[in-house]
Amino acid sequence: MTINEVRSSAIRMRREHREDFRDIGFANAPLSYTDAVRLFSSIYGQEPQQEDILTIEGRLSNITRQTKAVDILEYLATYPSGLMVTGLQEHCRAVQKFKGDNYGVIDPMNPQGLSMMNTEQMVVFLGGLMANRPPNSNFFFFVRK
């Protein structure tokens, strides 16, 4: 989906739930945690289970954030899809675990679109994403299929 299609879907879903959508009506307005869960549920055709969604307090020390990043990558390895999405506030990124020590990161703000990283680079990358973010903006959604 394009960014505009995602935003239109989020607005439509809020209307269906009889919720105010004006806060997400502008082009760069961040979607909420609830919006993201609804979107991924509709895109993948299944309601997420509680264990599919992690939120992490990002106002932690750099070492603690990197430890959490290692935990996230280990948890991702337990999902057959090897796919997770992280983001909110600024934008979402998709992370795909490949064989061995390889990850792909799809980032709509990256001019190349796709970055390949090893585990060490992913730990630094995820630790940086988490920095200074409250839990509902520090969102990790693990895709079952």
The beta strands (E) that lie in the chain are given as 53-55, 83-87, 93-97, 103-106, 114-117, 139-143
What's the pLDDT tens digit per position in 70-112?
999 999 999 999 999 887 656 778 899 999 999 999 987 788 8
- CA 4 from centre of chain: 18
Residue 114 lies in a domain: yes
138 near 56, Cβ under 8 Å?
yes
Q: What is the pTM of this model?
A: 0.78
18 residue type, one letter: R
Instruction: Using CB atoms within 10 Å of the CB of residue 60, give its burial: 0 to 12 exposed, 13 to 18 middle, 19+ buried.
Output: middle
Domain span at residue 136?
Answer: 50-143
Residue 43 lies in a domain: no
Residue 132 lies in a domain: yes
Name the one residue in this structure whose structure tokens are 């280990």.
Answer: 74
Residue 99 lies in a domain: yes
Q: Across the chain, what does the average pLDDT equal? A: 86
Domain count, the chain: 1
Residue 23 lies in a domain: no
